[in-house]
Structure 1
Amino acid sequence: MSADRVIAHLDMDAFYASVELLRYPELRGLPVVVGGGRDHAPRETVLPDGTVRREFRRLGGYAGRGVVTTATYEARALGVNSALGMMKAAALAPDAILLPTDFDQYRRHSRLFKAAVTAIAPRMEDRGIDEIYLDLTDLTGTGPDRWDRARDLGRQLKQAVRDATGGLTCSVGLTPNKLLSKLASEFDKPDGLTVLTTAEIEARIWPLAARKLNGIGPKAAAKLEAIGIRTLGDLARRDPAELVERFGRSYGLWLHHSAHGRDERPVVTESEPKSISRETTFERDLHPRADRELLGAIFTRLCERVADDLARKGYAGRTIGLKLRYDDFRTVTRDASLPLPVTDAKSIRRAAGECLKRVPLDRKLRLLGVRVSALLPAAEAAALLEQAQVQRGVTPDLFAQTDTAG
């Protein structure tokens, strides 16, 4: 099935930072870090001739517990990446420009690029504010020239994004399936276009580090390296029975199939989500006390991203969930069911914080996640909230708690 399809993964380049550069073109080519609060906005002075002079904040003066939302490629070259603590980023790149996040603008540009793309290729799977999958199979036809047609279509998509957003770039991977397309979209960033067929897997995919595969985190990569598996080629050449024995049947077989570029997942164009979640696996295990400030900032950021996803998809939720994975790979979840649906980051953070009080924090953590479930459309949620306010005068503030562990 996979070899007969043409699937695109379109990934916006340094999306939040690139949106900021549209607003502040004088910062192009400079290291820029996005993640400050509104008090980190540039100071603007209108000169007598009517021009505006801007004074930008420098990262070196930052003090606080925030984390980096994104950074330009110039800042990434200095070691600054998303989810890095701002204080650590300031030590790495003190002269970088610091800008506040502006999610209203990011959502607006997200809508613009997706509308432009779906006008050309309507079969789209939305994977977040800055990335999508597209099924181009019906548009490219069959025959030996289909991948040439796919490349031409990729160029059209990239130009449509650029035109619709006022100059933003994206990188596109074109392959027979979603797994390979996500890998391929990273090959030539920024502003890349990569076409890859199954015949090229051994030459172009197998030399990649195993950790490049979405689904192999730092811990799994370390376990693979411990048995001599450093590249995807090393992984592909291993006996699948050995992988099943070491990693379990499900994950072991997935590793084997993925290393060979096999992925039958369809592009899902419409689905009603049961939950919306965000989680992150840390580069190093974090201690609840020694790394409290960093964990707190990451926790808040996850809640903000879930709230952003809810707003973008038009949902609210009654149940807030917390997920923790300890350094021994044990996973624990907790839920808090609310009497009324919520959408904002502050309410999600508060409910998730209540969940956090009910889990043991006696060892290091390797993963943190936040989930909102029991979803309903935002319009319906707004009506329920309005009804509650009319009947009671205030919004109830009670938690009905349920525990699960896995």
Structure 2
Amino acid sequence: MQAAPSLPERLIAHLDMDAFYASVELLRYPELKGRAVVIGGRREHAPRTLADGTREYSLLRDYTGRGVVTTSTYAARDLGVFSAMGLMKAALRAPDAILLPTDFDSYRHYSRLFKAAVAEIAPVIEDRGIDEIYIDLTDVPGIREPVGHDPLGGAKAVAREIKNSVLKATGLTCSIGITPNKLLSKIASELEKPDGVTVLTMEDLETRIWPLAVRKVNGIGPKAAAKLAALGVETVGDIAGKTLPWLVENFGKSYGAWLHEASHGRDRRPVVTYSEPVSISRETTFERDLHAKQDRALLGRIFTQLCEQLAGDLSRKGYLSRTIGIKLRFEGFVTVTRDLTLDLPIADAAAIRHAAGLCLKRVDLSKRLRLLGVRAGNLSHPGDALRGRPARKAKPAAASETPEAESLSLFEDLPL
């Protein structure tokens, strides 16, 4: 007779909202429930309300441009449409899918709602983004109480309580994985999607984790997976079957050791309830390539808007920045960044735009632009004492350092 699983010392949950952006849109357009819906369009792809009160939706087949899928409903995923896929490619797989624009203000609103709902039950939360969190359930009341003959019943009951609270607060479903650590919980939350609960102990490692493909482990990317496959390693169990010296020999001391630990379900990372961001940024990809001279007015408006949005982000999160940077991606996918460190921290849009404009003048802008971004780094809170000597301002590059000196003046007509 198989022994009943025992609860580990730590109980960590990973909560992942189900198709979050798409699900928020379905709250607004409930008639699309069960349909293939793709999020990632522009404003003009918003539904049009007709005279009879019905809505007319844009279809993916009619999309032109180089946007990417932000997310998709599960019906669209069944047709092969996934996040980060080009919309034109997605249109070939699901031409009749509904295309909706993104609405990040709504997504942030519902993100705050679901996290607040969870915090009422389990306050030790690590924020991992707009639609996922880790939760330390170790000391939550009732978590270790068996239900009937199920020793894991208490953990499952707490998970259901969290899910019901999230549903009541948002109208949205989520999936939860509960295991002894963050690595396994991240995997577990995907096993019963959507609207699922999965509780695993180390006794489940061999039957539930080892048969999975290596990419299911957060931290094994495409390159590592390809190298593992070339070595005949396809599943997590295959990794676990390799010796530590073999993994170190093929993947290096650090990553090889991590593969060995991860494949055996070992992860000692704590749930971190707060961490300071390294930087805050805003960027946008253009629907068509833009030229600094021919599209000066349009670029100026976009540039100003990005700086205003970044200033709003800094204000909302309570930060000042001493380093302002820009990111530009040109035709041919060549990416260039420039930074400027100031003597004193700033947060207002005009100052950010001026500093970012100085960075722009250090870039050869003769080629067309695909992407423009503005970044605030070297963050501090208002009132913090400046530590150490102020960093020296970065000097603009001399004209001889760029292929075309004329390019340095292409943005001069933009109001800085």
TM range (shorter): 0.7 to 0.9
Q: Contact (CA 8 Å) 1:321, 1:355: kept in 2 or not?
A: no
**In 1: Cα distance, 2:20 partner to 2:109 partner:** 12
Give 1:119's aligned residue: 120
Tell me how far 1:319 sits from its aligned partner: 4.0
Residue of 336, 340, 343 corresponding to 2:339: 336
Distance 2:247 2:96 in 1: 46
Counterpart in 2 of 1:168? 172
SS at match of 1:268: coil
Letter in 2 for 1:66: G
Q: How many residues end up aligned between the 2 structures?
A: 340
* Cα-to-partner distance string for 1:189-241 (whole Å, 9 max, x where unaligned): 10010000011101110000011111111111010011111000000110111
Change (3 A) 1:108 1:208: same
Give the letter for the 1:203 counterpart. T
Describe the shift of the 1:43–1:275 C-alpha distance in structure 2 as closer, same or farther (beyond 3 A).
same
Once the two structures are superposed, what CA deviation does each residue of 1:171-198 show, in whole Å capped at 9, x if it has no partner? 0000010000000000011001000001
Deviation at 1:273, TM superposition (A): 2.7
Paired residue secondary structure (1:3): coil
Change (3 A) 1:123 1:259: same
Correspondence for 1:231:
235
Matches within 5 A, 1:379-398: none
- For the aligned residue pairs, the C-alpha RMSD in angstroms reads 3.8
Q: Corresponding residue for 2:46?
A: 41
The 5 Å alignment of 1:257-268 reads 257-268=261-272
Displacement of 1:373: 2.6
Task: Please report how far the alpha carbon of residue 263 of structure 1 lies from its aligned counterpart in structure 2 after TM superposition.
Answer: 0.4
In the alignment, the residues of structure 1 paired with residue 396 and residue 35 of structure 2 have an alpha-carbon distance, to the nearest angstrom, of: 48
Q: For residue 64 of structure 2, what is the aligned residue in structure 1? A: 63
Partner of 1:366: none
CA distance in 1 between counterparts of 2:260 and 2:205 reads 14
| Letter aligned with residue 94 of structure 2 | A
Counterpart secondary structure, 2:49: strand
Structure in which a larger fraction of residues adopt helix: 1
Cα 1:8–1:310 shift into 2, 3 Å? farther
Higher gyration radius (CA): 2
User: Secondary structure of 1:188's partner?
Assistant: coil
1:275 to 254, 265, 279: 279
Q: 2:70 touches 2:84 (CA, 8 Å); kept in 1? A: yes
Q: How does 1:264-303 map to 2 (within 5 A)?
A: 264-275=268-279
Q: Deviations over 1:140-193 (max 9, x none)?
A: 56867363211100000000000000x200000000100000000000110010
> Structure 2: where are the runs of 5+ without partners?
1-6, 283-287, 290-301, 330-334, 365-372, 385-392, 398-416
- Kept in 1, the 8 Å contact 2:126–2:133? The answer is yes
- Map 1:232-251; keep pairs closer than 5 Å: 232-251=236-255
Deviation string 1:95-123 (CA, Å, 9 cap, x unpaired) is 00000000110010001100000011000
* Structure 1 unmatched ranges of 5 or more: 279-291, 294-299, 325-331, 359-368, 382-397
**Residue 19 (structure 2) aligned to one of 2, 10, 14:** 14
Residues of 2 paired with 1:72 and 1:372: CA distance?
Answer: 34
173, 190, 193: which one aligns with 1:189 = 193
Q: Are the counterparts in 2 of residues 36 and 100 from structure 1 also a CA contact under 8 Å?
A: yes
Q: Check the 8 A contact 2:156/2:199 in 1, yes or no.
A: yes
What percentage of aligned pairs have identical amino acids? 57
Corresponding residue number in structure 1 for 2:162:
157
Q: Measure how far apart 1:125 and its partner are.
A: 0.4
SS in 1 for 2:190: coil
